[in-house]
A and B are shown apart, each in its own frame.
Chain A
Amino acid sequence: MDVRIENLSKSYGSQKAVDSISFDIKSGEIVGFLGPNGAGKTTTMKMLTQYMEPDSGKVWYDNKSSFDVDIRRNIGYLPEHNPLYEDMPVMDYLAFAASLQGVPDSELSSRVREMVKLCGLDVEKHKKIGELSKGYRQRVGLAQAIIHNPQILILDEPTTGLDPNQIVEIRELIKKLGREKTVILSTHILPEVEATCDRILIINKGKIAADGTVQDLRKQSEGKQLLQVKIDGAAPQLISDRLKGIPSVHQVNIIDPTQGRFEIQSISSEMPNREIYKTCVEQNWVLLEMIPFETKLEDIFRDLTLN
C-alpha cells in the first residue's frame, strides 16, 4: 500500500508541531524518520496511524483518505514508549491485538505462535507483560504491530532498550518485512537508519529538511570531503602552510605534529589528492598515508537541523 501525505499540519495551541509537510512512500520502501526531539516525528506518525486528526492536509492510503476502520486494519503501529497492558500474559495480549485487527479465530493461535517465534518470545511467552524486561517488552510491542500482517508498518523508535544482538535481529526483521510492506520508522540512532532504511526523511521544526537516500544526502553536503594525510620531511607548520596554498584545499588542521598527521577539507566535491601528491614530490616530502573520509551522517544531520 502506498502512502501519500499532502500538506499535513498540526498545532498544539500556538505551537506548530507539523507544518505543511508532503511526501510519498511507495510500497516496499523502508523510510527512516530522523530529527531532533520535538521536531514533529511522533506527531506525524500519530496522524499516519489515524490516532490524531490533522488540522489540515490529508493522508492518502493508495486512493483512500477516509478516517475509518478498514484503513486501520492495514496498519501496524508501535507507539512511542510502547504502551502495553501490564497485567496481561504475553500470549493473551497478542491474541487480543490480533482479534481486534480482524484476524479470524481459526488463525489466531497459529499467528500468535508465529509471532512468538519470529520475535524470540518463546522463553517469556507465559509471563505477564509487566514482568518482562525492557527488551522483551519491545519485542511484544513489535509482535502486536505485525501480528495481523499489515501492509503498512509504522514504528516509533523500534530498537530502544534492546541490547546490540537484539538490535541486529530486529533490524534484520524490519528489512525482511520491508520487502513487501511500506515501513516507516523513526529513530535517534543514525547508524540504524544507514543499516535499515532505503530512504531518509529529516524533519526539523515541523518541516522536511532533507529527503533522499543516504548517498543523496552525502552528495548534497558538497565541499565537505575529508582527507587524512601523513607527511614526513619538514616542520608541520611549514607543511600546513604549503598545503593551504593548494587552490582546492579549504582548510588544513594539524592533528598530530609529532607524527605529521593532517586533516584536509576540500572546497568543492573534487578531491585535492593529486595536488597534494604533486606538492609533496616538489618539496621532496614523504607522503606516508592518504585516507579519504566519507562525510558522516551525523555531520549531515547536525548541518541540517542546527540552524
Chain B
Amino acid sequence: MKSAVWIIAKKELRTFFDSLTAYILLIAFLGFSGFFTWITGADIFMRKEADLDVFFSVSKWTLFFFIPAITMKMIAEENKTGTIELLLTKAITSRQIVLGKFFACLMLIAITLLFTVSYYITVSQLGKMDHGATICGYLGLLLMSAGYIAIGLFASSITNNQIVAFLLALLIGVFFHFLFDMMSYGATGFFGQLLSVLSVNKHYDSLSKGVLDTKDLIFFISLTGAGLYLSELFISKRAK
C-alpha cells in the first residue's frame, strides 16, 4: 500500500500545477532572483567573483515572502470548506496530512530552485567556483524553506481565513528572519544568546558561506519539526 503522506503530497502538488500557483511562483521567483542576480545593483558582474552570493541573498528574501503565499491555503481552506472533515475521517492520521502538505510545498520550492541550476552552470563557466560553498548555499535555501513552510502550515492550521494565515506566517517569520537577530545585539547574557541562536539569518548566512555546521542543521530541523508538530496539534484539536 502506498504511504498516505505520498498520496496527499501528490494531490497537493498536482493542485499547484493545475491552478496557476506553481507557474506564478516559478515566473515570479526566477524573475526576481534573475533580475537582481544578473541585471541590477550589486550584480554578479560587479563582484568580479565567480560565486552565487548575490543569488543566495536575494532568494533569502524572495522565498521569505513567497512561502507564506504558498502555505496560506493549505489547511485554512480545508477548514473553511469543511474538506478537513473528509480527510480526518479517512484512514489517515493528522500527522500524515501535515507531512503530505509539507512535502508538497517543499517539492514545489525544490523544483523552483532546480531551474536556477542554470545560473550555477553559467557562473561556473565564468571563473573558478567554490562548488562546496554553492551546494551548501542551496542546502541552506532548502532548509530555510522547510522552516518557513512549517511556520506557514502552522499559521494556516489555526484559522480558516487565508489572509490571516498569510499575515500570521509573515509576522512569525519576521521574528526569525531578522528581528531576533537585531534584538540579540541589544540583549546580553543568556537572553542575548538565545535570541541569536533563534535567528534564521545567522544560521543561513553561515551555511551560504559554505560552513556546514551541525548546529545550523539542528536549528533548521528543530524549527521545522516544531512548526509541523504544532500544525498537527491544531488540526486534530479543531475537530474535537
Contact = CB atoms under 8 A, between A and B. Distances in A.
Nearest to B4: A100
B5 to A, nearest CB: 11
B89 A75 contact: yes
A70 interface: yes
Given A51-B88, A52-B240, A105-B2, A83 B81 contact: yes
A275 B56 CA distance: 99
Interface string B74-93: 00000001110111111111
Interface in A227-258: none
Contact of A96 (B1, B11, B19, B240): B11
B213 interface: no
B19 A69 contact: no
Contacts of A51: 85, 88-89, 239
A166 interface: no
Contacts of A96: 7, 11
Contacts of A104: 1
Interface in B15-53: 15, 18-19
A117 interface: no
A162 to B, nearest CB: 20
Interface in B164-198: none
A85 B8 CA distance: 13
Contacts of A100: 4, 7-8, 87, 90-92
Main secondary structure of the interface of A (DSSP, over half): loop
Nearest to A54: B240
Contacts of B2: 99, 105
B91 A102 contact: yes
A72 B239 CA distance: 15
B89 A72 contact: yes
Contacts of B11: 88, 96
Query: Which of the four size classes fits the interface of chain A?
Result: 20 to 34
Contacts of B92: 69, 100
B1 A88 contact: no
Contacts of B83: 83-85
Contacts of A85: 15, 83
A155 to B, nearest CB: 13
B238 to A, nearest CB: 10
A102 B86 contact: no
B182 to A, nearest CB: 41
A102 B89 contact: no
Interface in A97-122: 97, 99-102, 104-105
A262 interface: no
Contact of A52 (B1, B7, B86, B239): B239
B90 A72 contact: yes
B86 A99 contact: no
B85 A83 contact: yes
Interface of B: 1-2, 4, 7-8, 11, 14-15, 18-19, 81-83, 85-93, 239-240
Given A53-B240, A69-B92, A100-B4, 20 more contacts: A50-B88, A69-B91, A69-B93, A72-B89, A72-B91, A73-B91, A77-B89, A79-B85, A83-B83, A85-B15, A87-B15, A87-B19, A88-B11, A96-B11, A97-B86, A97-B90, A99-B2, A100-B7, A101-B90, A102-B91
21 contacts: A50-B88, A51-B85, A52-B240, A69-B91, A72-B91, A75-B89, A77-B86, A81-B82, A83-B81, A83-B83, A84-B86, A85-B15, A87-B15, A87-B19, A92-B14, A96-B11, A97-B90, A99-B2, A100-B7, A100-B91, A105-B2
